[in-house]
Chains A and B, each alone.
Chain A
């Protein structure tokens, strides 16, 4: 299987602030990768670097076999949709379709028109007069009409209602199933992502915490429930991601799937949301307690 994205030591510094540091990820072809992380974790920075809109301060990346660059051939293969859904306010959907048709070698204008018609979005009205959800649908359709091999979507479903969200993600999954397309999309909506994503990249405080196939990641983690006692024996063979201690029992989320010998501990499978939340709230990532709590509450929140 070919690799679409590979980065090594990728870092981006904005003045004194590190937006992304030492990022190493690999994304194979044909996956839908969920890019997850608290606000300010570096998701947008990573997507912009991969799209070639920003240049890294350090590190290397290979996207579709080359370095992201100002080259028509590269730009034709990558679709990027920014979080703020940029559209020309005074232009109609038809105008935008015209721009795409004039500036791209492959362009499926009929696809955009059909999609907008099926969503009852007018083609002849200025973008500024469309609703937020309609604008998002238009921008998504335009991004897909470019027929890219890699789609980078920054919170694409945030502006959509639950039904439209489900519909859109289904379209995305369909397009990927047809082959030749790889998707990386950031979102806070874990439940939605769980339905379509088969790959996960978790960022927190500008660093990559997890990167890999969701099934493999889940298999690597387990929950251990046992009496309140020292966990040093467990920590020898596994990494404790999160430990919750009450007066009588200890619940651990650990990485490392070796069976537990000690009969005091009961092991259980871990769910995606549990795992993600555990990583986001773990203090070892450098988050202080207060911000960890605030990050927790933002997860799964519709913007």
Chain B
């Protein structure tokens, strides 16, 4: 069976391997450049004691390569489109399943071996791309502290492996149910995007967020590469203050403040004491997921997509084995 899988997919395997190799060369070269650029910038700013605003002054790498890296968001679904959807559908469409299933191999084994190898290939595809992107983004992550954010979280760590497995399983299942390659491709693409979007919306709720309340007069930023989910201002009674829509001081609309705050002195070095007292009664509420939860979130999201993949494969297997050839 393994021989048949290899014979049927060796061309796609070579294309996939070539693409990975090209990506690896590109990211290795630019990644090494970025790393040395970052280290020399750190050394320079440490000497000048100006590292605090390094993230706004330093831009690493090139826009083109950065765009390519963001585009790896779409890499996992390719396995489902090019390998998963045609796996069974193309055989049913051309009738070759009647050839394959009349050799001395049961349908169960045929499906298990084919799906098994392709799932492994999908995992390797997602894993290699993710490993390259994660390594490449190292200096940038240290600089921007944003690897927890949507769009960055999804292309690094272990989740791309789970996405690729899910895409493959979705493709196989769509192919078995629809029995035609083209509709299966369409359903795989639409289904992948829909499920990814839905799970992305749920992501911030995996673990309940941490809430920090502080005076609006002092600034607060969650430490490290935390994922800040929101910031709201409440008055002394805990009532939500509407977002500013016009003139505001410390993101509090002037309407909430005494007239002294609106005086021409505003904007000057000192704020009138009466205004300062009024401002002090407001609280800023920051919700965020701390940086330390990064891998827990990666694990939870991986679990969700692996589970979905298992369910889809089970459906595909049951339908394929029960239905007439």
A and B together in one complex = yes
Instruction: Return the chain A residue nearest B3 by Cβ.
Output: A102
Q: Which of A55, A75, A82, A100 is the one whose CB lies under 8 Å from B98?
A: A82
Note all chain B residues with C-beta closer than 8 A to A262.
none
Q: Smallest distance from the beta carbon of B3 to chain A beta carbons, Å?
A: 4
Chain B 85-122, CB within 8 Å of chain A: the 1/0 string? 00000000011111111111111100000000000000
Contact A75 B7 (CB under 8 A): no
Stretch in contact with the other chain, from A87-95, A155-163, A272-280 = A87-95
CB of B21 within 8 A of chain A?
A: no
Q: Looking across the interface, which residue of chain B has its beta carbon closest to that of A79?
A: B102
Given contacts A53-B325, A54-B325, A89-B94, contact A98 B7 (CB under 8 A): yes
Whether B43 is near chain A, meaning CB under 8 Å from some CB there, is no
- A70 close to B107 (CB less than 8 A): yes
B177 touches A (CB below 8 Å) = no
Closest A residue to B96 by beta carbon equals: A86
Q: Given A70-B107, A91-B7, A99-B7: A48 and B99 within 8 A (CB)? A: no
Assess the B108–A70 pair: CB atoms within 8 A: yes
In contact, A75 and B103 (Cβ under 8 angstroms): yes
Check A146–B106 contact: CB distance below 8 A.
no
Question: If A48-B325, A98-B7, A103-B4 touch, does A88 touch B108 (CB 8 Å cutoff)?
Answer: no
Q: Can you name the residue of chain B whose Cβ is closest to the Cβ of A95?
A: B7
> Nearest chain A CB to B192's CB is how many angstroms away?
27
Q: Is A51 an interface residue (CB 8 A)?
A: yes
- A75 with B324: in contact, given A86-B94, A102-B3 (CB under 8 Å)? no
Count chain B residues whose beta carbon lies closer than 8 angstroms to a beta carbon of A.
23
Q: What residues on B are CB-neighbors of A104 within 8 Å? A: 103-104
Does B240 make an interface contact (CB < 8 A)?
Answer: no
- A243 on interface, CB distance cutoff 8 Å: no
Cα distance A79–B8 in the bound complex, in angstroms: 23
Question: Contacts of A253 on B, CB cut-off 8 Å?
Answer: none
Report yes or no: B101 in contact with A100, Cβ–Cβ below 8 A: no
Instruction: Tell me whether A102 and B102 are in contact in the complex, defined as CB-CB below 8 angstroms, given that A70-B107, A88-B96, A89-B94 are known contacts.
Output: no
Q: What is the number of residues of chain A that contact chain B, defined by CB distance less than 8 Å?
A: 33
| Cα–Cα distance between A71 and B107 once the two chains are bound (Å) | 9
Please report the C-alpha to C-alpha distance between residue A76 and residue B102 in the assembled complex, in whole angstroms.
8
Q: Note all chain B residues with C-beta closer than 8 A to A99.
A: 3-4, 7, 100, 103
Nearest chain B CB to A15 CB, angstrom units: 13
A78 at interface by CB-CB < 8 Å: yes
- List chain A residues, Cβ under 8 A from B107: 70
Q: Which residues of A contact B103 (CB under 8 A)?
A: 75, 99-100, 103-104, 146
User: Known contacts being A48-B324, A86-B94, A86-B95, is A75 close to B104, with CB within 8 Å?
Assistant: yes
Chain A contacts for B321, CB-based, 8 A: 70
Verify B94–A76 contact, CB threshold 8 A. Answer: no
B105's closest neighbor in chain A, by CB?
A: A103
- Chain A contacts for B4, CB-based, 8 A: 99, 102-103
Any chain B CB within 8 A of the CB of A124? Answer: no
Q: Which residues of B contact A89 (CB under 8 A)?
A: 94
Chain B residues in 8 Å Cβ range of A71 = 106
On chain B, the residues within 8 Å of A103 by CB distance are: 1, 4, 100, 103-105
For the complex, give the distance between the alpha carbons of A79 and B99 in Å: 10
Residue ID in chain A nearest B107 by CB atoms: A70
Chain A residues with CB under 8 Å of B104's CB are: 72-73, 75-76, 103-105, 146
Say whether B1 contacts A75, CB under 8 Å. no
Contacts of A100 in B (CB 8 A): 103
Please, which residue of chain B has its CB at the minimum distance from the CB of A73?
B104
Are A80 and B106 in touch, CB under 8 angstroms? no
**In A32-84, which residues have CB < 8 Å from any B CB?**
48, 51, 53-55, 70-73, 75-76, 78-80, 82, 84
Are A51's CB and B102's CB within 8 A? yes
B130 CB → nearest A CB, Å: 32
A147 CB to nearest B CB, Å: 11
Interface string of A96-119 (1 = CB under 8 A from B): 001110111100000000000000
Chain B's nearest CB lies how many Å from the CB of A107?
9
| Residues on A with beta carbons closer than 8 Å to the beta carbon of B8 | 88
Q: Report yes or no: A72 in contact with B105, Cβ–Cβ below 8 A.
A: yes
A230 to chain B, nearest CB (A): 49
Query: Hey, which chain A residues are within 8 Å of B100, CB to CB?
Result: 99, 103
What residue of chain A has the Cβ atom nearest to residue B99's Cβ? A86
Chain B residues whose CB sits within 8 angstroms of the CB of A105 once the complex forms: 104
* Cα of A223 to Cα of B107 in the assembled complex, Å: 50
In the assembled complex, which residues on chain B have CB atoms less than 8 Å from the CB atom of A78?
Answer: 102
Q: Are A102 and B98 in contact (CB under 8 A)?
A: no
With A and B bound together, what is the CA distance between A89 and B100 in angstroms?
A: 13
Residue of A nearest to B321 (CB): A70
Nearest Cβ on chain B to A79's Cβ, whole angstroms = 7
> What residues of chain B lie closer than 8 Å to A53, measured between beta carbons?
98, 101-102, 324-325
A75 vs B109: C-alpha distance when bound (angstroms): 13
Q: Beta-carbon contacts of B107-148 to A below 8 Å, as 1s and 0s?
A: 110000000000000000000000000000000000000000
The 9 A-B pairs with the shortest beta carbon distances in the complex, nearest first, are A103-B103, A54-B324, A76-B104, A53-B325, A86-B95, A70-B106, A82-B98, A86-B99, A102-B3
State the B residues within 8 Å of A (CB).
1, 3-4, 7-8, 94-108, 321, 324-325
Q: List 15 A-B contacts (CB under 8 A).
A: A53-B101, A75-B105, A78-B102, A80-B98, A82-B98, A84-B95, A87-B99, A88-B94, A89-B94, A91-B7, A99-B3, A102-B3, A103-B100, A104-B103, A143-B102
Q: Which residues of A contact B (CB under 8 A)?
A: 48, 51, 53-55, 70-73, 75-76, 78-80, 82, 84, 86-89, 91, 95, 98-100, 102-105, 139, 142-143, 146
Known: A70-B107, A72-B104. 5 other contacts (CB 8 A): A54-B324, A73-B104, A75-B105, A87-B99, A99-B100
